[in-house]
Structure 1
């Protein structure tokens, strides 16, 4: 008896904030389906009444499933897992598109769908995030945490409404390309979703982030033992993607730093591409956003923690940087902690 092993389904996540143009892009991609293939679409609406499904093809060769209420990105969404499994097993599509709600966190969904038990069913492709180019000038819009989370999760960013972009929008887009250079591989300009499937049909590239104790703490550990799993602050991490290295540190929000000392340490660094940080200082909470052309810092609202992240293309002496940073502490806690 010959055993037939089903091929994995090429799977695309099309994410984006509210009104960015996800469905328009999806419609354009669906028009490129070969006649002999079956494509499936799993859509998610946060409300209880779905509209977008009515905008998609209801013809032979397409299978559309809509999940209403809640967000399928959330780790507790068992209905999504069941619906997706049934869709794959019953319809056996050649390609699958997943469009989460504009209020969703695609990184959480991607984390679920790259777990080992899905690897025999899904061939995950590059995560796509759609942004409305004509709204990039709207600071209140683009500074929302969810908006930025969706950008950071993207491997490909599709910029819609390019014909309506102002000069200010173009400037913000240039800033975004610099700010997310370690995350986003490709930026595609789109008008009415005119993106070719081949442009987004790229393999997903996972980013391995290793969260470990602070470097000076690591030196005190037994080198023959594996580093402990870190579940609380403080910690240090390094991740590598697209030829860049991202190193970061997170400390308790109770730790306080001398503002000018932190500024000096950040300004002393060499061969970096971007530095971002937020610190509880003796001048209040301060956010630092450095790129090679501009060293910005300003007051900000209280953060969840102290944190700093540096992007480079060259190896750095991270231990020296961490040591200098910890010397900037001025709170009463033991600085050697």
Structure 2
């Protein structure tokens, strides 16, 4: 995986988005803006074993398109992605690179991989782009999926596609979505037929303020001077801040089960927050919670990929240990008594 040193780091754009959002349409329009004399490259990831999207992109001179099939380059072993990317850079020597992960991928994990020290001399990561289908914003079953939310929260730039098909209900849902995600300081672009200028996406990536760390209970048990464990799997706790707000969150294993009424009591007892959202495996089935200061909503939900909760609040110092202790005391699964 030897890379040929370049005079300057290569601009790299990650174009993410849920299934059918319009990523490839956007990508085609971006590629049409390639200056004469430059070579632009695309690394595409298909979850299945047969690639289709590659055939939809320009195959003319000046473009280099490579597909990585079978699995998700965001979530699986980094080795296939490292090899494919290294070969693409060495063989095509592009002036700009676009990466389109599968619609089932977690782009934040891919961005984390590509900002590791090994890649920093070669890749100049740009703001991460997530495409969302504006004509489906009214569909709550679509927009409340965990993966959809993960992709949207990872975005620095949100491209709203299919704007020509948006209804009044979609427009209202868009306003609510922008309000909900204002803490992430994202740029929102409206697009019909993928019409976005490349200049609008040329923003250097600035590292997130998110701090992923072990559960607070585990941190309390660490010895003085002991290095915190590197987070590689659930459970974990994180905090991030932006624009005068902060988000405290927990992601916990799917197999953990919680007492619904104890959990509901805990959430209702919180003070001075702006938004509480979560999904939990409870003794009443999977439940989602969506609280704002005017309304406390909870309902039956589809089975999630994990237990998770986020609390948005004014940026101020808070001791979340007491909250986490009560949260852990809501566990009722068999392993609760022996788990940390």
TM-score range for the pair, normalised by the shorter chain length: 0.7 to 0.9
Partner residue, 2:311: 310
* Max Rg structure: 1
The offset of 1:131, in angstroms, is 1.4
CA–CA distance in structure 2, aligned partners of residues 145 and 175 of structure 1: 17
CA distance 1:174–1:303, change in 2 (3 Å): same
Q: Contact conserved, 2:276 with 2:311, CA < 8 A, in 1?
A: yes
| Residue 209 (1) aligns with residue 211 (2) | yes
Instruction: Describe the superposition over 1:139-191 as per-residue Cα deviations: whole angstroms up to 9, x where unpaired.
Output: 33334443333223222111111111112222322332244334461121111
Contact 2:214 2:235 in 1 (8 A): no
Structure 1 gaps, min length 5: none
User: What root-mean-square deviation, in Å, do the aligned CA atoms of Structure 1 and Structure 2 show?
Assistant: 3.3
Q: Which residue of 2 aligns with 1:38?
A: 39
Change beyond 3 A, Cα 1:317–1:112: closer
CA drift of 1:240 comes to 3.3
1:80 positional shift: 3.2
Q: Which residue of 2 aligns with 1:146?
A: 147
Q: 1:7 to 1:231 in 2, by over 3 A?
A: closer
Structure 2, unaligned runs of 5 or more? none
Contact 2:10 2:122 in 1 (8 A): yes
SS in 2 for 1:118: coil
Match of 1:98 in 2: 99
The reply to whether residue 135 of structure 1 matches residue 142 of structure 2 is: no
Normalised to the residue count of structure 1, the TM-score between the two structures is: 0.82
User: Is the contact made by 1:157 and 1:184 (CA closer than 8 Å) also made in structure 2?
Assistant: no
Q: What is the CA-CA distance between 1:273 and the residue it aligns to? A: 2.5
* Contact 1:156-1:184 within 8 A present in 2 as well: no
Residues 311 and 36 (structure 1 numbering): CA distance in 2 closer, same or farther, change over 3 Å? same
What is the distance in 1 between the residues matched to 2:190 and 2:296? 29
Over 3 Å counting, the alpha-carbon distance change for 1:304 and 1:112 in structure 2 is closer
SS of 1:117's equivalent in the other structure is coil
Once the two structures are superposed, the pairs formed by residues 69-88 of structure 1 within 5 Å of their partners are: 69-76=70-77, 78-88=79-89
Aligned to 1:191: 192
Deviations 1:108-159 (A, max 9, x none): 3223222221112111111111111112223333344433332232221111
TM-score (norm 2): 0.81
Q: For residues 293 and 37 of structure 1, do their structure 2 counterparts lie closer, same or farther at Cα, with a shift above 3 Å needed? A: farther
Q: Secondary structure at the match of 1:112?
A: helix
Query: Secondary structure at the residue paired with 1:272?
Result: coil
Pair 291,80 (structure 1): closer, same or farther in 2 beyond 3 Å? same
CA change 1:168–1:237 in 2 (3 A) is same
Matches within 5 A, 1:40-79: 40-76=41-77, 78-79=79-80
Worse overlay, 320-329 or 158-167: 320-329
Q: Note the alpha carbon deviations across 1:169-219, whole angstroms, 9 max, x for none.
A: 22322332244334461121111222121221112233333212325x544
Once the two structures are TM-superposed, the CA of residue 270 in structure 1 deviates from its matched residue by 3.4
Seen in structure 2, the aligned counterparts of structure 1 residues 320 and 9 have a Cα distance that, compared at 3 Å, is same
Distance 1:142 1:51, change over 3 A: same
The answer to whether the 8 A contact 1:136-1:169 is kept is yes
